[in-house]
Amino acid sequence: MKHLFFLGFLAILVSCDDGDLQIETIDFDSVDISTCESTVTTSSTIFFKINSKEALILELESGVLKNEVSDTFSSAIPGKSKLTYRAFSENVTSTYFCDAIPTTTPTVIEEIEAEDGEVFITTTLAEGTTDTFEHTLELSGITFITSTDQRITDLQINEFGVVTTTAN
């Protein structure tokens, strides 16, 4: 009986969760896009979305935002542009990304760079203006693979957001 109890206890001990972070879905569609700049310009390249303890960071290739109406332009991820998912130990704010001196908290629990996909940029003239341009950023075919080789398949990040620039 002691052996049976010991084997049962050992099975429970071995099967317990080791605390590894399990990411089942990445959903940022309902979150507004942010940047550290007070005014977005055509030279802006870093945009992020914060969802309490998570962040999605998009680094566009230089020169893709232009103050001219254009057909949809694509930029490869990775390669020309970069998309990074971060999970934090506690809620994160834009201060984390924008302070000149980096904060020590919250700490990054997991960081995953997208291994495949594209960002599509469509630029239109803002309604009723002649010098304000709206850049719609959309993500397609994004693939994240965790450090444990787990593919995240339930991605809800198709619309990254709209940023506005003004011609000088």
Could you give the count of Cα atoms lying within 13 Å of 155 in the half-sphere of its Cβ? 20
- Is 8 a domain residue? no
pLDDT for the residue numbered 29: 77
> Does position 18 have pLDDT exceeding 90, yes or no?
no
- Is 56 a domain residue? yes
Distance CA 83, CA 142 (A): 9
165 vs 155, more confident: 165
Please choose, from the candidates 166, 159, 167, 168, the residue with its C-alpha nearest in 3D space to the C-alpha of residue 47. 159
How many folded domains does the chain comprise? 1
pLDDT for the residue numbered 24: 57
CA distances for 79 relative to 43, 62, 111, angstroms? 18, 12, 18
> Domain span at residue 125?
21-166
| C-beta separation of 17 from 2 below 8 A | no
Distance CA 143, CA 21 (A): 18
- Dihedral (CA of 51, 34, 104, 109) sign: positive
- Is 13 a domain residue? no
- Is 12 a domain residue? no
* pTM of the model as a whole: 0.80
Average pLDDT over residues 23-40: 82
Residue 6: pLDDT band with limits 50, 70, 90: very low
- Is 52 a domain residue? yes
pLDDT for the residue numbered 152: 74
Q: Give the 3-state secondary structure of 70-121.
A: EEEEEEECCCCCEEEEEEECCCCCHHHHHCCCCCCCCCEEEEEECCEEEEEE
- Is 9 a domain residue? no
